[in-house]
Each structure stands twice: as C-alpha cells, then as structure tokens.
A and B are shown apart, each in its own frame.
Chain A
C-alpha cells in the first residue's frame, strides 16, 4: 500500500524533499529564530519578553558594535584590494615563460590547504618573537614590539596574515583566467604593434573581468566573515580594537548574555553582507566584456 503511494509520487521530489526539509530545519529555521529573538530581551535561557526595536536602536549607539563594523569593513576592503592586486601580478608572472612553474605554483598555493586557525597561531609567534628579534637586532623601533600588541597597528597584522593566506586561491583562479585568454587575439595585437604592457591592459585585463568579479566577490565575502584569524592573532584585542563583527556576535552572544542583542546585530550584519555583495556584483558585471 505505502509502496504504491511512493510509486505514484514524482521520484524527483523524493530525491529533493529530504534535503529541503533538513536544510529548512538546520539553516532557515535557526535564521528565522534569530530574527525573532532579535525583537526580544532573551539572554539565551529563561524568560524573555518582546522589546520591539529596542535592540536595533541600541546597536546604533553602541561604541563596541560601531567599532566592530568600522574594523571589519576597513579590514575587508583593504585585504580584498591587496589580495587581488598581488594575486593578479603573481598569476601574470606564473603564466609567463618561466622555469619551475609547477613547483612555484605549488608553493604559492600551499597556504590554501592549511587551517586558518593554525596559521594564525604561527604568525602570532612570528609577530611576537620572530620579527621583533630581527627588528631589535637591526634597530628598527616599530618592529621591536609585536604589532599585535599595538592598538593602532594590530589590525594591519590581521590584514597581513589574511592576505598571506587568501592570495593562494585567488592566484589559481586568475591563472585559470589568464589561460582562457585566446592566443590569436594577443598575436593579432602583437602584429598591430602593441607592446606587452598595452597587450595586458587593453586585451588581457578586460577579458579577465569575469575572473576579477569572482575573485573580488569571493574575497570580500570571506574577509567580511573574518573570525579564525581574530581568535588566533589578537582575541579581539588589544582592548577591543580588532573585534570583528562575527567575533563580537560569537563572544558576547555566547558568553556575554547578549543572545537577543547580538541576534539583532547578526540581522544587520546579514543586511550589510547581502547589500555589499549585490552592489559589488552589479558594478563588476557591468564592465565585463567577452572575446
């Protein structure tokens, strides 16, 4: 009897429905719950009551929240630009006529297979002991103390490690893009008298636009979510100078009794990420061309 019913249902639905149900239960439902609790004063346990938009109003006058947005947005913007500039340059070099291409590509991609948290701990030590030793022996004063201990410079330390790791994947994607540029177009340009500088900026770079779009969107989104590196490098410090948004939500949401308040913060965070991604996608898509 049950088998007969199953046989009449479209089999494609049987393939998709369990996944849809599980996805709703473990992704959509908690997200909706988060939005719901953002209108309450819940601490994560015990009684709660509705407070309307109070959490949202308070967020905009909360220095630690505003600072976390300033830090995260500044960090993500700078990292994204630097990662893409460096990666494009290295990818161009790697696709030229060089020796040991496989080995070099292998080295440049290595950071992508390592756990970010572990890389963070290695660099933490590098900043605190490895570089300060060099700084002291060379008499460079700003290198003599760990930049992670300096409230004004610590964020640059996080940028540096983020760039160190993120370049790996970005380089590989740009290399795929560079290899897709048709050779005959470049050859035609050479015959027309274009030098290699002109060939790159007039032909290769415009044709790379789809890859630039992918890399900019992926980098920005990844950097906006920065969490592991903050934990391993600074723990949000010194003070709260490098608290990223996701670190603040994690830290105060779980241990600070701010369950509802940080849920409201997460809703704003979602809106910011969605808006930035869409704006960026539109702006970059507009300038894509095809060969």
Chain B
C-alpha cells in the first residue's frame, strides 16, 4: 500500500514540476514562434502557432546585424579566453598551492582573494581610459582582460583542488629528474582535468554571454560580440519585433545547441564551481 502511495506521489510531483517548467518553456516558445511569424501574423495572434513558417526573418536578421561576423567574433573570443584561462590560471594556482607555507605566496593568494570583493564599476571608468591609451580597446584587449579577471576565482578553485593531489607525486617527479615546469605540464596538469573542465565550462559560459565588459571595452562596431550586437541594433529592432526575435533566437542558438549536447557536463561544471 505504501508503495502505491509513493508511486502516485511521484507522478503527482512530476506533473507539478512540469507545470512549473512552463514558466521557462513559455517565453522560449514565444521567442521561437515570434521569430517565425510575419508582422501581421504576430499582430493577429501573439501566442498562436505561425500560419506559415516565415524563414525570411532570419535571412534579414543575418543581413542587418552582420550575424556571421558577430558569431565569428564571439566564437574566436570565447575559444581564446577558455584556452588561455585554463592554461595560465592553472599554472598560477599550482605555483601558489605548492608554496602556501611561504608567507609571500600566501600574500599573493590573499591578494587575489580580496579582489573577489571589488565590484567591476569601480574599475570600469579608469580602465576604459587606460585601455584606449594602450590601444587595447579591441577584441585582443578584451580577451586579455577576461583571462586576467578570471584569476581570483580560479586561483581559489585550483588551490582547493590541488590539495587533493598528494605532494608525493611532485616529489616522485623530482626524483625522476623533472624541474618545476616539467612537473606541472607533464604530471600535474593532466591530473587537474576535472578542475580544468569546470573552469573551461564556467569561463566559456560567462565569456559567451557577457555584456558589460564588451560594452565598455570595444570601440569598433566590427568587433562586437553577439550579446552586444543585440543591444546595438535595438534602434532598428523597435519597429520590427519579428526581426528582433529571429536575431535573439540566433544569438541564443549556439549555446542552446551546446547545452543540448553537453547538458550533464555543463550542469556538473557549474555545480562543482560553486561548491568547491
């Protein structure tokens, strides 16, 4: 009897959760159908299915917003930032983790840690002046900033993870004749793979979706990323919602596709990043 009650409550709870998930699915549904409608179609029934699939919105949005160009910028930026963040931040984390007994390295650790409390707006205004003086108000400068700004959080994450790797492994490598660099790249870095995956996922998501940093750093519209493009074309969009929504949908699509394929790793990465 108990089992029957439990099974029934399982279905009841499932139904309840599906009902709650409508709050997420409904805006997504509205985005997709609006992107596929003509203006008169959307005007007559907003929530209904489109009378006929109007793919023309997409080709027009691609043309108006230079979609392929912005997509290229976003892909290049995210790829460069993820690769360099994983390679450099793990190295710094290693150097600090293996020297925590030294006061100077402990000082470096707390220096990075304290930066976690500093809100970006306090840096923003002087930073923009500094970047234009150095000629870094472009995608290259933006990539550099992301890699550098990821340090505080990742140093915390890597030093935490490094505690699970016994120092005896370092010592064994030293006896085999490896210097500090070889120890890291040949022995430790491969052992860091779970932490590297977490960092890569978190960095990839935040870089791809970020809006504020590209907004203040990039001065040339040709270098705009996808989220920034949506902002830049609001003027053209305001009169044509169907065009706007096909542009939004295309901006969201790449990450949604990656999410569909790698859902488990992405959710796991985000959970690990917060808990560690």
Identify the A interface with B (CB < 8 A).
11-13, 15-16, 19-20, 22-23, 26-31, 33-35, 37, 44, 90, 93-94, 96-100, 104-119, 121-123, 125-126, 129-130, 133-134, 164, 169, 172-173, 175-177, 211, 214-215, 218, 224-225, 227-228, 231-232, 245-246, 249-250, 253-254, 259, 262-263, 266-267, 269-270, 273-274, 277
8 A Cβ contacts from B231-266 to A: 231, 234, 241, 244-245, 248, 251-252, 255-256, 258-259, 263, 266
Partner of B125, one of A20, A169, A266: A266
The reply to whether B148 and A96 contact each other, CB–CB distance below 8 Å, is no
The reply to whether A93 and B151 contact each other, CB–CB distance below 8 Å, is no
The reply to whether A109 and B144 contact each other, CB–CB distance below 8 Å, is no
B205 at the interface (CB under 8 A from A): yes
The reply to whether A130 and B124 contact each other, CB–CB distance below 8 Å, is no
Task: Decide if the interface of chain B is mainly helix, strand, loop or mixed.
Answer: helix
Task: Decide if the interface of chain A is mainly helix, strand, loop or mixed.
Answer: helix
The reply to whether A164 and B24 contact each other, CB–CB distance below 8 Å, is yes
B161 at the interface (CB under 8 A from A): no
Interface string of B116-132 (1 = CB under 8 A from A): 01111111111111100
The reply to whether B226 and A115 contact each other, CB–CB distance below 8 Å, is yes
The reply to whether A26 and B251 contact each other, CB–CB distance below 8 Å, is no
Q: How far is the CA of A101 from the CA of B25 in the complex (A)?
A: 16
In the complex with contacts A12-B180, A173-B271, A26-B241 CB distance below 8 A: no
The reply to whether A121 and B244 contact each other, CB–CB distance below 8 Å, is yes
CB distance from A203 to the nearest CB of B (A): 19
The chain A residue sitting closest to B45, CB to CB, is: A133
The reply to whether B241 and A262 contact each other, CB–CB distance below 8 Å, is no
The reply to whether B47 and A113 contact each other, CB–CB distance below 8 Å, is no
CB distance from A133 to the nearest CB of B (A): 5
8 A Cβ contacts from B94-119 to A: 94-96, 98-99, 105, 108, 111-112, 115, 117-119
The chain B residue sitting closest to A15, CB to CB, is: B95
